[in-house]
Amino acid sequence: MKKVLTYGTFDLFHEGHYNLLKRAKNQGEYLIVGVTTENYDKTRGKLNVQDSLMKRIEAVKATKLADEIIIEEFEGQKIQDILKYNIDKFVIGSDWRGKFDYLKEYCDVIYLERTKGISSTDLRAKKNNILKLGIVGCGRIANRFIPESKYVSGINVEGVFSLNEAKTKIFQEKFELEFMEINYDKFLEKVDAVYIASPHKTHFEYAKKALESGKHVLCEKPITMELKKAKELYDIAFKNGLVLLEAIKTAFSPGFIHLINIAKSGIIGEIKDIDATFTKLSVGNLRELDKNQDGGSVTELGTYPLLAIIKLLGKPKDIKFYSYKKDEIDLYTRIFLEYPNAIASAKVGLGVKSEGELIISGTKGYIYVPAPWWKTEYFEVRFENQSFNKKYFYKFEEDGLRYEISEFLELINRNSIETYKLTSKESLIICEIIEKFREQF
């Protein structure tokens, strides 16, 4: 009996999938179909799969072509499956031509012509209209945003706004955007949503106006440095059913999300201490060190360590700051946070370097995340008895902005305004801490 194996995501199951499975089945007598998990798809850069794993399995089952359905959950699984199931032929669509030649060592590898004119990507785009996004600002982070947005299907960066006409023009040309604007009202008329990547001080005005005009907002951190203003923005967003999301990339990355779940699962017992550090020696531009532009290590970098602490312990009952200052700027700050049953500390530095690690200590063990923990690719759960230690690995793709972009789009498409990955409450606690720091500074 000739056994055939094929794999796919099979999202929004379509004719192309059916044709492929039918021809795959004709290649032998027994067809095994591997359906990918959401996690695996995320690690290989497929971020916007719409149907759940169960729904995709059901769709494959409904064709009655598969004799057996298996789940594909990790890289390198194909070799194992071929050996385990005694596969004679590995079959896949022609879009993968050449990519699986390495399997020829184990079985025949056949690339079948794809059905023309249909793909899950196209169907996803048709199902939800492409979101027209405009970027506010054309600095460093805006430059990184556009290449990352290409990994998220269903969103298109249409234009850019900033007050500096010459720079905006250069940015538009560099990324071949549809338009540029130096008039914010006109800019807003042309988009469904905005990504605010302008200097800190301008976030509030731009976000407020966008939300009042019915536009969803993805806003660079910190959204504002005043709690009252941040609350005002969320109030407008909620009232108008709009998404307002703080662009803390770590919060949406697969490794960090799993880290938080593991830490909360009780595996290390009760969390008693968190130590999170983020320092930078290379200061990209003078704005970060300019008091008049809200520079300083807490305003620039505090969001990351506070994210880890607040996600795990919530709002502190007391907080203290100790800083090394120069020219009215904090170049290095330690933040101590006190909780009823735990403590935490965050270290941030601009021009002072420390180990960028995260340690979560519990009553049964601890979690160690090496630098750079905010791009979580690896962490270890450690115990007194080291034989119980466990290591976890993930991929944090390039700049990682694709994760926040994907979440932002998903919320809009689902008509949801809150995500557990970063709630408005958590963003507000971070904002309140930064505000407190500035008051006491």
Provide the 10 A C-beta neighbour count for residue 191.
26
Given candidates 43, 119, 299, 323, which one binds ligand CTP under the rule CB under 6 A?
Answer: 119
Q: Could you please report the per-residue DSSP string of 266-304?
A: TTT-SEEEEEEEEEESS--SGGGG-GGGT-SHHHHHTHH
Q: Which is nearer to ligand CTP, 90 or 161 (CB)?
A: 90
Q: State the DSSP H helix or E strand holding residue 6, giving kind and residue range, or none if neither.
A: strand 3-8
Distances (CA, A) of 125 to 85, 119, 317: 36, 10, 46
Q: Is 114 in the site for ligand CTP (CB under 6 A)?
A: yes
Q: Is 125 in the site for ligand CTP (CB under 6 A)?
A: no
Q: Cα–Cα distance between 299 and 398 in angstroms, integer?
A: 24
Q: Could you please report the per-residue DSSP string of 172-231?
A: HHHHT-SEEES-HHHHHHT-SEEEE-S-GGGHHHHHHHHHHTT-EEEEESSS-S-HHHHH
- Cα-atom radius of gyration of the chain, to the nearest Å? 24
Given candidates 4, 10, 255, 402, which one binds ligand CTP under the rule CB under 6 A?
Answer: 10
Chain mean position to CA 31: 36
Q: Is 120 in the site for ligand CTP (CB under 6 A)?
A: yes
User: In the numeric block, which tokens belong to residue 383?
Assistant: 């115990």
Q: Which is nearer to ligand CTP, 17 or 375 (CB)?
A: 17
Q: Is 328 in the site for ligand CTP (CB under 6 A)?
A: no
- Segment contacting ligand CTP by CB under 6 A, of 87-95, 171-179, 203-211, 348-356: 87-95
Q: Which amino acid is at 249?
A: K
* Torsion (CA) 27, 28, 31, 32 in degrees, nearest 10: -90
- Segment contacting ligand CTP by CB under 6 A, of 116-124, 130-138, 172-180, 415-423: 116-124
Given candidates 16, 222, 255, 365, which one binds ligand CTP under the rule CB under 6 A?
Answer: 16
Q: Is 154 in the site for ligand CTP (CB under 6 A)?
A: no
Q: Which is nearer to ligand CTP, 24 or 401 (CB)?
A: 24
> How many helices (H) and strands (E) in the chain?
15, 19
Q: Which is nearer to ligand CTP, 75 or 380 (CB)?
A: 75
Q: Is 115 in the site for ligand CTP (CB under 6 A)?
A: yes
- Segment contacting ligand CTP by CB under 6 A, of 11-19, 220-228, 276-284, 361-369: 11-19
Q: Cα–Cα distance between 171 and 192 in angstroms, integer?
A: 20
Q: Is 152 in the site for ligand CTP (CB under 6 A)?
A: no
x/- binding map, residues 184-223, to ligand CTP, per CB under 6 A? ----------------------------------------
End-to-end CA distance of the chain: 76
Given a contact cutoff of 8 angstroms between Cβ atoms, the answer to whether 56 and 9 are in contact is yes
Minimal distance in Å, beta carbon 94 to ligand CTP?
A: 7
x/- binding map, residues 17-46, to ligand CTP, per CB under 6 A? x--x--------------------------
Given a contact cutoff of 8 angstroms between Cβ atoms, the answer to whether 340 and 317 are in contact is yes
Minimal distance in Å, beta carbon 22 to ligand CTP?
A: 10
- Segment contacting ligand CTP by CB under 6 A, of 114-122, 195-203, 269-277, 410-418: 114-122
Instruction: Tell me the residue nearest to ligand CTP as measured from the CB.
Output: 93
Question: Site residues (CB under 6 A) for ligand CTP?
Answer: 8-11, 16-17, 20, 92-93, 95, 114-115, 118-121
